[in-house]
């Protein structure tokens, strides 16, 4: 294996999930990855690009994907085969609190002289707690760490002086924790090197396609993404990426945007490699009145033909949809109002203070202006949300489909809000004000919750309006109601409804079965019965209350894209040569 200067490792949510009797629930039903949360952050690619440009050899190894794909995959053997000065492990969102730390322990035991570094939102928030752990040598703080990471590698390969590395937490020769200022907080993202070619070249160098996949199945149905912004203009109650959270622990006073021209260039470059859908992260209207118009014009001028998916934080006017229809060959919209109930969603954010007619109007205008697919997401377990309010999601969805002539381009989803409320968010920092009760506050407490036998016990919160038990049961009841609404409105067949209902009721039954097992005093008997539940639950782990296949876009596999990949690599080499001459 070629030696690397730094290896980026992505761990599963729980290590080793294959050797634990865990029943996964519906918390990942509405995201591309499985309950193992095997999707690594896009920052792996951008940081690698900057390091490669600076002359360092990088490698991305997605341990979670390989563990999912092959139950015999030997993680320790793979880590032992890797040779690098630094192993960087992401702890971006809290669902990786268990896996990231356990993999860090493995790396430290196998490569005791290598440096183990963690980074991401959750690592930033819990940096002091992380630095007390023997398996963690460094924490890189902040939401933009491409350039500090180059400084860090310069120190590793140079004089070892980490005191000048921006955003870094480290231990000196006496073992004392040092926290450098979180001073690299860029106000623009145009500096970021963004090129999927980095990932492709890395894969070719190490001849390791499976190990570099962003998530399981990505090679068959690739979905790519670009980002408009780091930080946010809004402060939604439960979001760890909000403006409130940014000010609180990321030292971000205002959002940093990537210019629409650079964003259009990013999308064009993806099209050089892959005929895949491109998901634009962040509402393109956050950047100001003309941001979306400039972006759409840039995409149109460059002749991009990839399917474009965009997320919306609030309803849009007809002019926005007209611009999208004019510039984009095909496009999808994703809107997460969280609740159909205005009284609930308006408490989460001012963005939610609109009535139902506005929601219907924005969907109607989108479908009338070329939108091929409109995804609408609702959640269970929100502040101010009662069981009755959540259950009414199905009736609302039925009436919405009916008013839109049962348009099959509208997809409606409902799932539990999340396993955890994001640290740094308003809800996490001010729980009493927002009606939350938490079962975990520290990183270690969250790590222990993840090592639970049922997804219900992993939930770190309940609210004044619903207990943890009620949130779990209501999630299944909403799913059954939504199945009935979909059948009534011609969105699914009777056979599909029967299959979805069976899967949902099976999942609910397993959850209650685990409750009964946990009451058994004999630990060996408990363990044996939990393994029986795991084997049964494994069959429905990817889709419990939603059909995950509904999230798939019709795109060609990476193998079908091979000629385009080759052409894209040639273009990338030419760009690099021109840049060096300049």
Other C-beta atoms lying within 10 Å of the C-beta of residue 496: 14
Distance CA 298, CA 94 (A): 36
pLDDT at residue 196 in the model: 82
Return d(Cα 227, Cα 283) in angstroms, integer.
Answer: 10
Please give the pLDDT value at position 534: 76
Q: What is the mean pLDDT of residues 380-405?
A: 97
pLDDT band, residue 32 (cuts 50/70/90): low
pLDDT for 552 equals 57
pLDDT tens-digit readout, 44-92: 999 999 999 999 999 999 999 999 999 899 999 999 999 999 999 999 9
How far out from the chain centre does Cα 246 lie? Answer: 18
Q: What is the pLDDT of residue 541?
A: 59
pLDDT at 539 over 70: no
519 class by beta-carbon count within 10 Å (0-12 exposed, 13-18 middle, 19+ buried): exposed
| pLDDT-above-70 percentage for the chain | 92
State whether residue 310 is helix, strand or coil. strand
Task: Mention every residue, 6+ apart, whose C-beta is less than 8 A from residue 529.
Answer: 517, 520
pLDDT, averaged across the chain: 91
Domains of the chain in sequence order: 4-193 (3.40.50.2300)
Give residue-wise pLDDT tens across range 153-189: 999 999 999 999 999 999 999 999 999 999 999 999 9
Residues 90, 47 contacting (CB under 8 angstroms): no
Q: SS3 for 48-95, per residue? A: HHHHHHCCCCEEEEEHHHHHHHCCCCCHHHHHHHCCEEEEEEECCCHH
The answer, yes or no, to whether residue 309 has pLDDT greater than 90, is yes
Residue 551: the pLDDT is 55
Average pLDDT over residues 192-204: 82
Q: Which residues does 96 contact at the CB level (< 8 Å), separation at least 6?
A: 11, 12, 13, 37, 90, 122
Evaluate if residue 548 carries a pLDDT over 50: no
CB 50 within 8 A of CB 6: no
| The token pair that represents 177 in the structure block | 């924790």
Tell me the C-alpha distance between 308 and 84, whole Å: 37
**pLDDT (average), residues 24-36:** 70
DSSP letter for each residue of 150-200: HHHHHHHHTT--GGGSTTEEEE-TT--EEE-------SB-TT----THHHH
* % of residues, the chain, pLDDT over 90: 75
Residue 308 has pLDDT above 90, yes or no: yes
E strands of 418-566, at which residues?
436-438, 461-463
Q: What is the pLDDT of residues 243-295, one digit of tens each?
A: 999 999 999 999 999 999 999 999 999 988 888 899 999 999 999 889 999 99
Q: Give 474-533 pLDDT, tens digit per residue.
A: 999 999 999 999 999 999 999 999 999 998 998 899 899 999 999 999 999 998 898 888
Q: How confident is the model at residue 23 (pLDDT cuts 50, 70, 90)?
A: confident
What pLDDT is attached to residue 109? 98
Tokens describing residue 448: 């222990």
pLDDT at 163: 97
Pairing of strands 177-179, 278-281: unpaired
- Alpha helical stretches, state H, 222-316: 243-249, 260-273, 291-301
Q: pLDDT at residue 573 above 80?
A: no
What pLDDT is stored for residue 25 in this prediction?
76
Q: Which of 196-205, 353-362, 374-383 has the lowest mean pLDDT?
A: 196-205
How confident is the model at residue 210, as a pLDDT?
80
Whether the predicted pLDDT of 231 surpasses 70: yes
């Amino acid at each position: 294996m070629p030696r690397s200067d730094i290896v980026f490792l992505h761990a599963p949510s729980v290590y080793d999930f294959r050797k634990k009797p865990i029943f996964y629930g519906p918390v990942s039903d509405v995201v591309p990855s499985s309950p193992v949360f095997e999707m690594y952050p896009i920052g792996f690619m951008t940081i690698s690009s900057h390091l490669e440009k600076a002359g360092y050899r990088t490698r991305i190894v997605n341990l979670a994907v390989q563990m999912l794909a092959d139950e015999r995959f030997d993680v320790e053997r793979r880590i032992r085969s890797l040779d690098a000065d630094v192993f960087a492990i992401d702890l971006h969102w809290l669902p990786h609190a268990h896996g990231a730390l356990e993999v860090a322990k493995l790396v430290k035991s196998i490569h005791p002289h290598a440096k183990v570094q963690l980074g991401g939102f959750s690592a930033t928030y819990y940096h002091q707690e992380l630095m007390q752990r023997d398996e963690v040598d460094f924490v890189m703080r902040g939401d933009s760490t491409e350039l500090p990471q180059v400084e860090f590698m310069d120190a590793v390969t140079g004089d070892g002086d980490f005191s000048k590395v921006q955003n870094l937490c480290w231990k000196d020769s006496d073992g004392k924790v040092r926290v450098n200022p979180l001073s690299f907080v860029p106000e623009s993202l145009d500096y970021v090197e963004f090129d999927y070619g980095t990932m492709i070249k890395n894969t070719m160098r190490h001849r390791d396609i499976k190990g570099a996949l962003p998530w399981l199945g990505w090679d068959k149905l690739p979905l790519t993404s670009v980002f408009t912004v780091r930080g946010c203009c809004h402060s939604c109650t439960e979001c760890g990426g909000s403006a409130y959270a940014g000010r609180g622990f990321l030292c971000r006073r205002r959002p940093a945007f990537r210019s629409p021209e650079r964003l259009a260039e990013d999308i064009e470059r993806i099209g050089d490699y892959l005929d895949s859908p491109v998901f634009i992260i962040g509402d393109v209207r956050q950047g100001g009145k003309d941001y979306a118009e400039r972006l759409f014009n840039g995409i149109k001028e460059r002749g991009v033909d990839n399917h474009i998916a965009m997320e919306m934080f609030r309803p849009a006017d007809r002019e926005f949809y007209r611009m999208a229809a004019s510039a984009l060959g095909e496009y999808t919209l994703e809107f997460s109002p969280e609740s159909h109930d205005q009284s609930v969603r308006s408490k989460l954010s001012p963005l939610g203070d609109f009535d139902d007619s506005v929601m219907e109007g924005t969907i109607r205008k989108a479908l009338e202006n070329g939108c091929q697919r409109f995804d609408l997401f609702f959640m269970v377990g929100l502040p101010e949300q009662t069981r009755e309010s959540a259950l009414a999601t199905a009736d609302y969805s039925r009436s919405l489909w009916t008013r839109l002539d049962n348009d099959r381009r509208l997809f409606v989803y409902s799932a539990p809000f999340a396993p955890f409320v994001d640290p740094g968010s308003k809800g996490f920092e001010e729980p009493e004000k927002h009606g939350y009760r938490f079962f975990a506050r520290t990183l270690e407490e969250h790590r222990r919750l993840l090592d639970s036998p049922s997804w219900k016990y992993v939930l770190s919160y309940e609210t004044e309006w619903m207990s943890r038990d009620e949130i779990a049961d209501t999630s299944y009841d909403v799913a059954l109601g939504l199945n009935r609404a979909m059948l009534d409105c011609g969105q699914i067949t009777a056979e599909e409804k029967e299959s979805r209902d069976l899967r949902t009721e099976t999942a609910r039954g397993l959850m209650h079965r685990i409750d009964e097992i946990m009451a058994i005093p004999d630990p060996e008997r408990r363990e044996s019965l939990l393994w029986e539940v795991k084997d049964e639950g494994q069959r429905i782990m990817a889709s419990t209350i939603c059909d995950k296949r509904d999230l798939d876009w019709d795109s060609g596999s990476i193998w079908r894209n091979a000629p385009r990949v080759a052409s894209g690599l040639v273009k990338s080499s030419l760009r690099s040569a021109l840049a060096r001459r300049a």
